[in-house]
């Protein structure tokens, strides 16, 4: 229970960080993905942390609070979570930093692709969404930032978490 | 079955997906609004703290950004300043030229054309000749008179090339032009004094000159027959046993300061 509360608190922090810092970075046309990075990290550490799917909690909170069409981000993140798990299990079996970063990057691309498709679908069938970002201009910047955040997070995890096994042993 | 594809994991995936879809349905129905309000109440203090932190951090970042912008803006302003400076200089030149042309309009030469030319060079020894930027392709001819915007005679064209001409100034020692004083009507020849000044020579001894009298170059075809002023008598020189007397003339125009002159045609 205490773990859950800790997690809830840090989820709140992640969401608030996203909501406040985004205000600054949006002016610079950069969109940060803190909750997404958490989801990716959780997907890769799920063997150690059995409740890693709780990483979806900040995504859910963020999705709920940003007042866009609810569900698109949560659904994209949830599928990304499983996509990363699947990749980590079948393709990237080496327990090394480069693999972690590659997986994080692929997860980011998968998330954004799915998110974009779902937004388009919702816009087409149900509710018009104003796309605030120019996808071709901002996505590379966003990707770069997420990559840096991801790498940093994994680097810290590997350093401080002794015996961390992210991938299946061969 | 491997760990990654266990039935329990698949079950979690399906259940969670259904829950998410249900939540989406609730959100569409507006049933999540109370939850949203509660969350905002909880998050408000945290948001305030983050906002304060953001202000502090990005204020520092913004100083550097502003500095960078300032440098860029300063460079742009410098460029703009140079461009405006050039424009002002051009406009001033145009204004001066316009003023000269307007001044020139006051002096009609009985339908004779006047052509404005720019001075592009001068003799190293002062008061000898000027080079102007037009030649025979512009219709200039040897012997055409050259005047200032105020219609004072300066000299005449001596050599006319295709696109450049040489103006012999009145102060040139080779220059000799028939003249007459305006009030006493004493005739003589204006001759240059080696570039240093003008003198009216060959004045009959019996003619009484007045100091300050205007000296006029006698008109010829080029000037439409009009006499043109050259300067004023500033000193009268008489010598015993000589048939003629002379007078020093103070030119009306400072020839060294000329930038544009007019050719009478």
- Give the span between the Cα atoms of A92 and B176, in whole angstroms: 105
CA distance A54 to A38: 10
Instruction: Note whether A103 and A44 are within 8 A (CB).
Output: yes
Which residues of B lie closer than 8 Å to A, measured between beta carbons? 2-5, 12-13, 16-17, 20-21, 23-24, 27-28, 32, 35-36, 39-40, 42-43, 46-47, 50-51, 54, 58
pLDDT in tens, B151-210: 889 899 988 888 888 998 888 888 888 898 888 888 899 988 876 788 998 888 888 888
Q: Could you say which DSSP state residue A94 is in? A: S
More confident residue, B98 or A127: B98
Fold of B112-265: Thrombin, subunit H (2.40.10)
Q: Is A22 on the interface with B (CB under 8 A)?
A: no
Residue B2 confidence (pLDDT):
46
- pTM (global) more than 0.90: no
Amino acid A42: pLDDT: 64
* A160-169 mean pLDDT: 57
Q: Got the DSSP string for B78-105? A: HHHHHHHHHHHHHHHHHHHHHHHHHHHH
ipTM of the modeled complex: 0.71
- Beta-carbon separation of B12 and A85 below 8 A: no
Cβ distance of A74 and B35 shorter than 8 Å: no
B95/A90: higher pLDDT: B95
pLDDT value at residue A168: 47
- CA–CA dist B93, B260 (Å, integer): 11
Is the Cβ of A51 closer than 8 Å to some Cβ of chain B? no
Q: Are A43 and A36 in contact (CB under 8 A)?
A: no
Measured between CA atoms, the residue of chain B closest to residue A89 is: B4
Q: Per the structure block, which two tokens stand in for B131?
A: 């080079």
Tell me which chain B residues have a C-beta less than 8 angstroms from the C-beta of A70: 23-24, 27-28, 32
DSSP string, B164-214: -EEEEETTSTT-EEEEEETTT--EEEEEE-TTS-EEEEEEETTPPP-TTPE
Distance from CA of A134 to the nearest CA of B (A): 23
Residues of A in contact with B36 (CB under 8 A): 64-65
Distance from CA of B258 to the nearest CA of A (A): 59
pLDDT surpasses 80 at A83: yes
> Looking at per-residue confidence, does B78 or A57 come out higher?
B78
Running DSSP on this structure, what letter comes out for residue A169?
A: P
Domain boundaries, chain B: 112-265
Question: How many C-alpha atoms does B153 have within 13 Å on its Cβ side?
Answer: 33
pLDDT in tens, A7-34: 677 667 667 766 666 555 555 544 556 6
Between A86 and A167, the higher pLDDT residue? A86
In contact, A166 and A88? CB cutoff 8 Å = yes
d(Cα A6, Cα A144) in Å, to the nearest integer? 29
Question: Distance (Å) from the C-alpha of residue B26 to the closest C-alpha of chain A?
Answer: 10
Three-state DSSP class for residue B112: strand
Nearest to A83 by CA among A52, A47, A50, A108: A108
CB A84 within 8 A of CB A46: no
Confidence (pLDDT) at A2 = 64
Cα Rg of chain A, angstroms:
16
A114 CB-near residues (< 8 Å, 6+ apart):
A75, A76, A79, A80
CB contact under 8 A, A56 and B46: no
* Identity of the residue in B4, B16, B46 whose CB atom sits nearest the CB atom of A86: B4
Greater pLDDT, A160 or A22: A160
Q: Is B133 exposed, middle or buried (0-12, 13-18, 19+ CB in 10 A)?
A: middle
| CA-based nearest distance B72→chain A, Å | 18
Summarised one tens digit per residue, pLDDT across range B16-28 is 889 888 888 888 8
CB–CB of A97/A153 below 8 Å? Answer: no
* Interchain proximity A21–B42, CB inside 8 Å: no
* Per-residue confidence (pLDDT) for residue A29, from 0 to 100: 46
Phi, psi of B199 (to 5 degrees): -140, 145
Q: Check CB contact under 8 Å for B4 and A47.
A: no
Block mean pLDDT (10 aa), chain B, length 265: 59 85 84 84 78 75 81 91 88 83 66 81 78 88 87 88 88 85 88 82 86 84 70 88 87 83 86
pLDDT for the residue B175: 83
Q: Which residues contact B161 (CB under 8 A, 6 or more apart)?
A: B135, B136
Q: Which two tokens stand for residue A132?
A: 């605030």
Give the closest of A17, A23, A70 to B24, CB-based.
A70
More confidently predicted of A103 and A66: A103
């Amino acid at each position: 229970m205490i773990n859950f509360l800790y997690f809830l608190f840090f989820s709140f922090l992640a969401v608030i960080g996203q909501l406040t810092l985004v205000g600054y970075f949006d002016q610079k046309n950069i969109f940060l993905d803190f909750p997404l990075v958490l989801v990716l990290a959780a997907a890769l550490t799920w063997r150690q942390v059995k409740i890693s799917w709780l990483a979806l909690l900040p995504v859910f909170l963020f999705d709920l609070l940003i007042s866009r069409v609810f569900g698109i981000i949560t659904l994209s993140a949830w599928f990304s979570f499983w996509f990363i798990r699947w990749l980590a299990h079948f393709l990237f079996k080496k327990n090394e930093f480069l693999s972690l970063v590659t997986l994080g990057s692929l997860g980011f691309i998968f998330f954004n692709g799915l998110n974009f498709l779902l937004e388009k679908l919702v816009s087409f069938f149900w509710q018009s969404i104003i796309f605030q970002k120019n996808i071709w201009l901002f996505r590379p910047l966003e990707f770069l930032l997420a990559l840096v955040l991801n790498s940093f997070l994994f680097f810290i995890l590997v350093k401080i978490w002794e015996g961390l096994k992210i991938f299946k042993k061969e | 079955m491997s760990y990654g594809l266990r039935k329990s994991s698949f079950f979690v995936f399906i259940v969670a997906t259904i829950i998410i879809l249900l939540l989406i349905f609730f959100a569409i129905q507006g049933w999540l609004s109370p939850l949203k309000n509660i969350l905002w109440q909880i998050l408000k203090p945290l948001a305030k703290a983050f906002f304060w932190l953001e202000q502090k951090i990005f204020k520092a970042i913004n100083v550097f950004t502003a500095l960078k912008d300032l440098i860029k803006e300063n460079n742009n302003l410098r460029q703009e300043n140079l461009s405006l400076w050039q424009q002002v200089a051009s406009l001033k030149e145009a204004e001066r030229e316009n003023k000269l042309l307007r001044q020139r309009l006051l002096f009609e030469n009985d339908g004779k054309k006047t052509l404005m030319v720019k001075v592009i060079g001068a003799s190293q020894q002062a008061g000898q000749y000027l080079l102007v930027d037009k030649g025979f392709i512009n219709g200039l001819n040897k012997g055409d008179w050259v005047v200032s915007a105020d219609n004072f005679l300066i000299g005449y064209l001596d050599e006319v090339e295709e696109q450049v001409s040489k103006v012999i100034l009145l102060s040139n020692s080779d220059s000799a032009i028939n003249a007459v004083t305006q009030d006493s009507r004493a005739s003589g020849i204006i001759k240059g004094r080696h570039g240093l000044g003008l003198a009216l020579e060959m004045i009959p001894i019996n003619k009484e000159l007045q100091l300050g009298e205007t000296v006029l170059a006698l008109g010829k075809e080029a000037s439409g027959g009009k006499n043109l002023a050259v300067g004023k008598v500033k000193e009268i020189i008489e010598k015993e046993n000589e048939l003629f007397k002379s007078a020093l003339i103070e030119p009306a125009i400072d020839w060294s300061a000329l930038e544009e002159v007019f050719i009478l045609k």
